[in-house]
Amino acid sequence: MSTLARYAGLAAVPATVAAFAVVGANPASADTVSTFGLGPGQTACVQQYASYQARVDGTGTAGGAKFKVLKNGAVIANTPSRANQYAAEFRSAYGNFPGPGSSSLCATNTGTTNTIVTLHVRTDGEI
């Protein structure tokens, strides 16, 4: 496939992808952190591979956001409603690490006004 064809394919990605932004990190990545502006109903996530421990931190402006932690796509922790700050740690040493895999932190703006969220995932030796 030519480079031009690849770029043309990228241009065809629907605008709705912007409503659900996912920033991925491979096992060699370090300290995944991103900031997103979210309108009502929008979700953003960051993820990173964890072998034996993970820590997630999230912040939201205005009315905050609903935060959730996923391991390989399954929810393992979340806030019951919107919050302006969220943090959780999962460690083998604490007995609460759910096993190796992709650790994600997502924020959903369930409010009626815009919010800015910062999502931070650290794993293994980064903690």
How do residues 44-87 score in pLDDT, each as one tens digit?
999 999 999 999 999 999 999 999 999 999 999 999 999 999 99
Residue 97 lies in a domain: yes
Residue with tokens 């421990």: 53
Residue 92 lies in a domain: yes
pLDDT at position 13: 32
Residue 8 lies in a domain: no
Cβ-proximal residues to 80 (8 Å cutoff; 6+ apart), any chain: none
Residue with tokens 């895999």: 101
pLDDT, averaged across the chain: 84
In degrees to the nearest 10, what's the CA dihedral of 67, 72, 73, 77? -30
Pick from 9-13, 54-58, 62-66, 120-124: least confident: 9-13
Spatial distance between the Cα atoms of 40 and 63, rounded to a whole number of angstroms: 11
Read off the pLDDT of each residue in 94-109 and give the average, rounded to a whole number.
97
Cβ-proximal residues to 73 (8 Å cutoff; 6+ apart), any chain: 102, 104
pLDDT at position 29: 52
Range of the domain at 80: 17-126
State the DSSP H helix or E strand holding residue 105, giving kind and residue range, or none if neither.
Answer: strand 101-108
pLDDT at position 14: 32
Residue 6, SS3 per DSSP: helix
Residue 66 lies in a domain: yes
CA-wise closest residue to 84 among 110, 111, 58 = 58
* pTM for the structure as a whole: 0.77
Locate 85 and state its tokens. Answer: 């700050």
Domain count, the chain: 1
